[in-house]
Amino acid sequence: MTNSSQPAAIQRQLERQRRHERRRPIPPHILQRNDTVLKHLGLAHLGANRQLHNGSGERDDLVQEGRYGLIRALERFEACRGHRLSSYAMPRIVGQIRHFRRDRLHTLRIPWRLGDLHARGMKVQNNRLHAGLLQFSEEQLAEQLGVTAERWREACVAHRDRRLQSLHLQRSSGDGCSAEDALIDRLPDPGSLETDPQREWLIQMLKTLDPNQCRWLCAFWINGLSLTEIARREGIDRHMLRKTLKRSLHSLRDQAELDFSPTPPEARPQPWPDLPPNRSADH
In this structure, is residue 271 part of a structural domain?
Answer: no
Is the same domain home to 96 and 121?
no
89 shares a domain with 28: yes
Residue 209 counted as domain residue: yes
**208 within a domain of the structure (yes/no):** yes
Name the residue range of residue 67's domain.
Answer: 7-104
Tell which of 137, 163, 189 closes a domain. Answer: 163
Q: What angle do CA 117, 122, 128 make, to 5 degrees?
A: 130
Q: What's the predicted TM-score (pTM) here?
A: 0.43
- Number of separate domains in the chain: 3
Residue 73 sits in the same domain as residue 124: no
Say which CATH number the domain at 16 has: 1.20.120.1810
pLDDT tens per residue, range 32-66: 888 888 888 889 999 999 988 887 788 899 999 99
| E-assigned strand segments in the chain | 170-172, 179-182
Q: Is residue 280 part of a domain?
A: no
Task: Assess if residue 242 is contained within a domain.
Answer: yes
**Is residue 130 predicted with pLDDT exceeding 60?**
yes
Is there a domain that residue 78 lies in? Answer: yes
pLDDT digits (tens, 9 = 90+) for 255-276: 888 887 665 555 555 555 555 5
Residue 153 identity (one-letter amino acid): R
Residues 13, 89, single domain; the answer is yes
Among candidates 26, 30, 44, 28, which has minimal Cα distance to 85? 44
CB-based contact 51:92 (threshold 8 Å): no
Confirm whether 184 is domain-assigned: no
Domain boundary among 120, 146, 163: 163
Alpha-carbon span 188 to 168, nearest angstrom: 15
Is 282 a domain residue?
no
pLDDT at 252 over 90: no
- The whole-angstrom separation of Cα 147 and Cα 151 is 6
